[in-house]
Structure 1
C-alpha cells in the first residue's frame, strides 16, 4: 500500500484542476508524454465536495486507454475547504488500494493528497458520458441486481480479509464513532417526528435508544472479528449502473476496517423495497457467503453467525439515515422506512441479548 511520491501540487481550486498544463502533468504518470491542449468544462455539482465533469483534447489525440470525458472531485468551495480532510479516505482508496480489490468502481486516472493542506483530489473517467446511470432510492433496484452488488462487496471483502498491510494502515482505522460526535439524538428525533420518518415502525421510533445502540456498536466494532475493509455506506445512492447495466460502487469516504456485515446488512436493507427485502434477504445472504468463497476466502462465516451479524449492518444504516440532513426528503423518507422496518424485523435494539 505505497503511493507514488510526486512533486506535482494537488490543485486548490477547480480552475487549477481544469488547467491544460496541470492536467498534462497529472495524467503523465499513467499516460507518458500526454499533452492536454484544451479543456471543455461540463456540469458541476457542489455540495461539500465538488464534482466537475469535463472533456479534454490532446496533442495527437487522446491516448489509447484514456477517455476524453473525465470527472474531477475535490473540496474546492470555501465551505468544502473546511471539510477537505473527509476526502483523504476516498482518495487513499483510489490511490493505494483499489487495484488490489477487483471491485467494480469508477476508473481513477489520478488520485493524490497534498501533504501540507491534506486536500485530496481524484479524477475518474466519466461514466455518464460512457452510458452509465447513477442511482438513488427512487431507482428500481431488484433482488437480482442486489445479488450482483453483493458479489462486488464479496470481492472487496475477500481481497482484504485480515490482510496485514490493511491492519496497519492508519487511514483505515475504524471511524464509526465519528458519527456519534457530530450528530445524534436531536437530528434523529427531528427526522422521526417529521413526515420524513413517517414510515419508521413504532417499535424502533426511539431516538435515544437508536443513539445508545449505535454508540455501543461503534465502541465494539474495532474489537470484533473477523474484520476486513468495508465500503461503509452501501445504500443505493452510492451505486451506479455501468454501460452494461452492471451495479458498481462509488463514494468511498467511509472506507475503513470493520466486520463485513456492516456493509452487507446495510446494503440488503437499503437497496430493496421492504417487500423485496423480506422475500429475498436469506437467499441474498447465502449468495454473498458463496461469493466470498468464490472470491478466494476459504472459510466464510457460518450461517448462524452471519444471520445474526447483519443486524449490526442494519443498525449502522438506520443510524446514518436517522442523522441525515439536507438530502432530498423523498430519498431520506424511503431509506428510513426500509432501514427502520428492517431494524424492527431483526430486533436490532436487542443486539446485546
Structure 2
C-alpha cells in the first residue's frame, strides 16, 4: 500500500515537471543584471528612493533582450532587423514576465544592482517576423516539401580489429684484440652480439550499421504548413503535386521516396532529380527535401523523464528554372524532448525539431530576399 502511494506521488510529480517544462516550450528565459545610481531620499536615509528598482529592472530588461537577439542566427537576425523598430516600440508585448532574483544596495557609492530573469515569447517574435515580411507580396510563391521521419530500429556495433606486428634482428661482430707484454704479443678475437626488436601494428574501425523504420511525418507537415502560410507562401504537400498526372504521375510516390530513405542513408540522385522535375512541371518555386531522424532514448538525470533526441537535415531548392539550385539548408542539428513515456518525449522532440526546421528555412529565404 505504501509502495503504491509512493509510486503514485512520483508519477504525479513527473507529470507536473513535464507539464511545466513543456508549457514553456515556446518561450526563452534569460538572466540580466543592471545597476543604477540614486540620490538619498532624505538627510538621514541611505535607502534608494521610490522608483529606483523599477528603473534598474527596465535597464535589465533591455539588456536581456539584447542577449536574446544575440542568440539569433544570421538569417533570423536579418529578418528581425525588418521588424526591429516595431517590436521595440511595444517590447512588453513580447516579454511575458520577469522576476527579480537578487538585488544589492551599495550605500557608499549609492548604487542599486538588480539581477532578473526575463521570459520572452519567442513564438510571438517569430510570428511578427513572418507576418511583417510577408506583407507586400505581389505574386503567389508555391512551396512544396517531402520529409521522412524515421527511427533507429537497431544499431549493429563492430569491435575494432587490431593487428600487431613485431620484427627481431640479431647480429654478430668480431673485434680483434691485441695484448702486448714485455715478452710476448698475444692476438685474439672476441665476438659481441647485438639484438634489435621493432613493434608496430594497425587498428581498423568499422562504422556502426544502423537500420531504420518509417514513422508518421505529420509533425513536420503541420509545422511546415503553418510556417509557410504565416510567411505568405502557398504551401502544398508534395503528395498532392506528385498525384497530378501533368506534374509527375510517373515519378515515385511519397511512400516510395520514404521507403528509399529508410532503406538507404540518402536518396539516389535519380530520385532527387525526379522530385525536382515534378515540382518544376507544376510551377513550384521552392522544394524542400529532408529527414527527421529519431535517435535512441535516454533518461534525463535531473528529472527522471524520458529524453529523446531528433536530428534534422534538409535542403531547399529553387525549382523554378531548368537547373535547380540549393537556396537553403538545415543541419544536421539535434533537438530533444522530455516526457513521462517514450511516445510523449518523441512527439515533443519531433514537434520542436519540425518547428525549428521550418523557421530556419523561412528565415534563410527571407535573408536571401526570396519572396
| Category of TM-score, reference length = shorter chain | under 0.3
| Larger CA Rg, structure 1 vs 2 | 2
The two structures have a TM-score, normalised by structure 2, of 0.22
The structure in which a higher percent of residues are helix is 1
The two structures have a TM-score, normalised by structure 1, of 0.23
The structure in which a higher percent of residues are strand is 2
